[in-house]
Structure 1
């Protein structure tokens, strides 16, 4: 990543969406942010911690750039509750470690279910898997009829994204729906 940042020079900004980086901190390029580097990173709190209703996010960038934005726009207001919840969550290192292991194991299980149904999982984010298939829309409709929600993509009608099933029963329901329709 450092080479990519260096090659950009002053031609423009590299903006990195690290909304899912908490699942694997090795993916983060936050350490690359420095004065003089045109690199901005956006982070989301709610996706990893499963608290989408807590309106909390972060931008990491060169200090002079962030100061200019703050001067222009003012401080972005956050609720005291969001700050307290975010602080407590990030301090719970044991939960974070356990969740990373759990998500990785559950993603492997999802890969197995999808592969057994003839679908090839794409990507490495342990929160979901993307598949590419000619019958994505039909599969979406079949699963929705069984109360299994997936995410289709208008911009690529061959894609369908599967979130991790909530528990073992949900894995069984998904497997049955993929096999029997």
Structure 2
């Protein structure tokens, strides 16, 4: 059992590195993590010598660009798992460990779908979504939560959230839901 607890984080780190390398090879933007944690995550070009990544929200090519998902969860293992899942589907994937970073990514990049954790350290998912809705009324959002709070669910529905996934969630159902939602856009 101890070996599993030791090897699981190592495996997750190796998967994350592999995904990041694959993104660089495909010349896609990569979100780098600072040594201080995910709070200061900044999108950087896939190749350090490449020109700066231009925010897709301000690009004329955004209508022909691939679809993207923003995964917002303070648990790195969940972000890594979902990143791998959606990259295999050919989606551009962004990650945020907290609400503040999620708002910045959603503001600076074209995001078609957000998977948003309800409970996070700096602000909850409702607060983050309220801020995102100030500049993006159309992005599709599904909430992920470990516990159900009826008041928060009502607030989320009022902000346009149509689905809620309770941890631990069925990963195949989540994948199917997100892909189906993006295809129906």
Q: TM-score, normalised by structure 2?
A: 0.25
- Kindly name which structure, 1 or 2, has the bigger radius of gyration based on alpha carbons: 1
Structure with the larger RCO, 1 or 2 (CA within 8 Å, 6+ apart): 2
Higher strand proportion (structure 1 or 2): 2
Q: TM-score, normalised by structure 1?
A: 0.25
